[in-house]
Structure 1
């Protein structure tokens, strides 16, 4: 079975499903270029159109920076300790031209992912697998608690239509969402490992929200 999966992965990686250059994949794998291209995509709106070429140049320099480090280190070490540094110039360039409403988004993407990966890389497998504990999904999607998720989605959706900076809105709504599901979560997920895992996930999500304490 494991060999069949291995063959399927090779077939998928060599197919057109991957839009990345094979040399690039050999250098840094798929995950990091994918995230880098999310940053590029944020800067693909009309406000940054005049900087398209320079953004792509910075994108390629970012990949080279990651490739240099990746050759001597594990994925965890590269991402947690170097991804932010390698993407900084790209992030700064995108931040300089995007509309005010979404300023801070590229920085937030990097900060949140680095925080989440740090937790995943530094914790044990038992904590990581608690992400799949059914009690979490019972909390988020059971009929009596679904209102928390719907309220969060509605507020974010409505704010996106307004002329507001999105990062402060997302920070505020995420904190309120955490407060909303806190009691149902504690009632349904009584294992300390599960609680710690979810706490760290929220902590990582709140990384860009410097002004909010005790998350």
Structure 2
């Protein structure tokens, strides 16, 4: 059976997609999903091998117990993160914390303005801010077709559910160039990414963090030399 690709061409008979569709009876979309999962598993296996070599272990099931930490009671969230970042040498710990931080949401006013504030007019900036500081503001924030600061403050307050005043917007404009805002959550994630790369030699991702965190509660042993099936 011929297999028509998304670009309109037919797959060659020797290609993986041709063999997959004809041997399994599944669709082209099924093939792309399967190929993506195979690629992800192959990537995980390579990274698992690197970790086993780096930490001198025979199996990934041993990694959860590698240099386990006794975490002191009563730590605040910030103190807990500082403790893990400073003391942990276990990539599973780093991965688990990384995933927890990914679930956090920045509900601060600057975080909300970062996603929702549009350019403002020069006239409204000079009204609500210090016109002598106009040179300190990123030009991308001041536009002829921008919208007045007080108008945006009122509209954004409705969306945000809490009052945003003109001074909040002015302080945001003073502090951040357009697209340069980083939340405390983003900065903390970067610290975990640096820590993980120092420990393991490669960058962490959400998918691989989930893979590592699974070893904290799983008895499943995977062969890191396992090859992914091909068609």
Same fold (TM over 0.5): no
Alignment TM class, shorter chain as reference: under 0.3
- Provide the TM-score with structure 2 as the length reference: 0.22
- Provide the TM-score with structure 1 as the length reference: 0.23
